């Protein structure tokens, strides 16, 4: 975090200060801000966030022992050792975290050349964030989220990593309910906002696809006047956000696969080692070889290029830096295993759109004499659409000719039933209640030349099965 006095920090969060011995209101704090006491070090700021399973106030003394300079709390903590650090008492710790992030972003923006990019969409946020960060890091100091820090805690924590010399802030905005993106994006008022797609991910929480559209469009409404909205020309719902941009005096830049996109890809070829295409931006065309598996990542790369070139990066530099990216993120189309038996671990997240994209990639990268194996778990947060969407995945797997369909967990069982109903009944489709049972089966079933996709939502836990398979067949 940038250097702030205790007085400035308290004003930012609207808190009352209880000074520790040796501190004054002019004492300067510049350490890392975190809600996890285990990550706190000397000079850091610990935010005692109440949680569903535990309460951060229980760990104020531990943070003090680790060397924390400040604890932001909802009530005074008097446990032994807690009195050795200054405490700032606020009505709500999570709100205080957001207020502090807003203050720090404003200070850095006013003092330097900070430009902020916000990213949202039903799928692809983390990959696009990583691709764009890789491009911008070559231009200047860049701050972007670790993993998927995109919620009411993760997004502010990312913003609080800014320094006085940061030039680019890349924020990823996720949401499980209306209004969350508006709150998070409002902390930074992005110069550039990227909307990737509006799909069925989290549709259960939002209440349907139209509510999802409204939620994702909150980013466009948060872009500062004179800024830029980078929109997916191939997604009709995203394209419908253009008038919202015009209302705010925000320009639009289109990316996509169609001829009308300003930043587009042609001649896309998918192989087991990556995807090649021709990228056109600002009238310049150049070849791109993405090492990240999956044709769907071409759109993420186009979005990153559209934003980066708008920020002054040349297309040549964008491509050179993108071609150094080997995986989008751990557990996202992550190649494992060996050339003999290739495991693709993509079980960090799943929605109907990403499930379909991953299955298509599996079919595309499997050559003659090789066998496709899909290991599938449940997709979460689909609400009333869950049964229908799981049926669709089972149907698609059969239509794509996936030769072995392994379904795991009771919440995913409809995939198996639909695959059987579509003709995959002679051991082509199997069902297991647990990942351990599936692992034992796969240990005996997999053979040389198999290409194995492991895909599910995070809650299904199949990412760990993917790791086990990757280690077993490495």
pLDDT in tens, 234-274: 999 999 999 999 999 999 999 999 988 999 999 999 988 88
For residue 117, list its beta bridge partners. 170, 192
| In a shared domain, residues 311 and 345 | no
Place of tokens 């320094």: 163
Please compute the mean of the pLDDT values over residues 328-339 and round it to a whole number. Answer: 85
| Among the listed residues 464, 358, 346, 350, the one whose alpha carbon sits nearest the alpha carbon of residue 412 | 350
Q: What is the pLDDT of residue 327?
A: 81
| Among the listed residues 336, 351, 328, 340, the one whose alpha carbon sits nearest the alpha carbon of residue 453 | 336
CATH code: domain of residue 188: 3.40.1190.10
Reported as a pLDDT band with limits 50, 70 and 90, residue 61 is: very high
| In a shared domain, residues 339 and 260 | no
pLDDT for residue 215 is more than 60 = yes
Place of tokens 């997999």: 446
DSSP label at 50?
B
Residue 463 · residue 347 · CB < 8 Å: yes
| Among the listed residues 324, 457, 281, the one whose alpha carbon sits nearest the alpha carbon of residue 380 | 457
> Residues 437, 123, 304, CA angle at the centre, nearest 5°?
130
Q: What is the pLDDT of residue 164?
A: 94
Reported as a pLDDT band with limits 50, 70 and 90, residue 426 is: confident
Last residue of a domain, one of 293, 322, 351: 322
Residues 316-326: pLDDT tens digits?
999 999 999 98
pLDDT for residue 205 is more than 90 = no
Residue 18 · residue 89 · CB < 8 Å: yes
| In a shared domain, residues 30 and 117 | no
Please compute the mean of the pLDDT values over residues 53-75 and round it to a whole number. Answer: 94
Residue 37's contacts (CB-CB under 8 Å, 6 or more residues apart) are 46, 56, 59, 60, 62, 63, 66
Reported as a pLDDT band with limits 50, 70 and 90, residue 218 is: very high
| In a shared domain, residues 306 and 347 | no
- Strands of the sheet containing 33-34, edge to edge, are 16-18, 86-89, 70-73, 45-47, 33-34
Q: What is the pLDDT of residue 245?
A: 97
Number of domains in the chain: 3
pLDDT for residue 191 is more than 60 = yes
Q: Please give the residue range of the domain that contains residue 189.
A: 112-322
pLDDT for residue 406 is more than 90 = yes
| In a shared domain, residues 73 and 45 | yes
CATH code: domain of residue 449: 3.90.190.20
Percentage, residues of the chain above pLDDT 90: 81
| In a shared domain, residues 364 and 241 | no
Residue-averaged pLDDT of the chain: 93
DSSP 285-344: EEEEEE-SS-TTHHHHHHHHHHHHHHTT--HHHHHHHHTT---SBTTBSEEEE-SSSEEE
Instruction: For residue 458, give both structure tokens.
Output: 């995070």
Reported as a pLDDT band with limits 50, 70 and 90, residue 372 is: very high
Q: What is the pLDDT of residue 122?
A: 87
The pTM of the full predicted model, rounded to 2 decimals, is: 0.87
């Amino acid at each position: 975090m940038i250097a702030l006095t205790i007085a400035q920090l308290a004003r930012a969060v609207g808190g009352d200060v209880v000074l520790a011995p040796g501190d004054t209101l002019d004492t300067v704090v510049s350490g890392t801000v975190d809600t996890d006491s285990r990550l706190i070090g000397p000079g850091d700021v610990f935010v005692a966030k109440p949680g569903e399973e535990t309460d951060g106030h229980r760990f104020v003394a531990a943070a003090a022992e680790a060397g924390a300079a400040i604890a932001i709390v909802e009530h005074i903590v008097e446990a032994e050792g807690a009195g050795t650090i200054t405490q700032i008492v606020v009505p709500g710790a999570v709100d205080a975290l957001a207020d502090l992030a807003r203050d720090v972003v404003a200070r850095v923006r006013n003092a330097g050349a900070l430009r902020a990019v916000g990213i949202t969409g039903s799928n692809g946020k983390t990959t696009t964030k990583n691709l764009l960060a890789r491009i911008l890091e070559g231009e200047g100091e860049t701050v972007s989220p670790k993993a998927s820090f995109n919620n009411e805690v993760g997004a502010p924590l990312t913003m609080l990593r800014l320094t006085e010399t940061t030039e680019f802030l890349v924020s990823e905005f996720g949401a499980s309910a209306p209004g969350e993106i508006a709150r998070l994006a409002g902390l930074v008022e992005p110069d550039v906002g990227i909307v990737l797609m509006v799909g069925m991910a989290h549709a259960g929480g939002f209440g349907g696809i139209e509510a999802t559209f409204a939620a994702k469009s909150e980013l466009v409404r948060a872009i500062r006047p004179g800024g830029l909205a980078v929109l997916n020309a191939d997604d009709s719902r995203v394209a419908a956000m253009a008038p919202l941009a015009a209302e705010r005096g925000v320009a639009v830049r289109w990316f996509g696969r169609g001829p009308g996109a300003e930043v587009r890809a042609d001649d896309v070829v998918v192989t087991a080692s990556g995807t090649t295409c021709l990228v056109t931006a600002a009238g310049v065309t150049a070849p791109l070889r993405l090492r990240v598996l999956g044709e769907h990542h071409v759109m993420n790369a186009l979005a990153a290029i559209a934003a980066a070139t708008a920020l002054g990066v040349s297309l040549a530099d964008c491509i050179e830096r993108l071609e150094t990216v080997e995986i989008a993120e751990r557990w996202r189309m992550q190649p494992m295993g060996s050339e003999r038996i290739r495991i693709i671990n993509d079980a960090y997240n799943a929605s109907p759109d990403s499930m379909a994209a991953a299955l298509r990639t599996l079919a595309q990268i499997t050559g003659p004499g090789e066998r496709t194996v899909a290991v599938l778990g449940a997709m979460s947060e689909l609400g009333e659409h869950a049964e229908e969407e799981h049926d669709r995945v089972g149907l698609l797997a059969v239509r794509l000719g996936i030769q072995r369909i392994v379904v795991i967990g009771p919440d995913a069982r409809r995939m198996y039933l639909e695959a059987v109903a579509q003709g995959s009944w002679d051991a082509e489709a199997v069902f297991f209640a647990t990942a351990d049972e599936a692992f034992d089966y796969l240990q005996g079933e997999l053979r040389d030349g198999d290409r194995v996709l492991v895909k599910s939502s995070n809650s299904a836990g199949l990412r760990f099965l993917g790791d086990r398979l990757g280690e077993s067949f490495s």
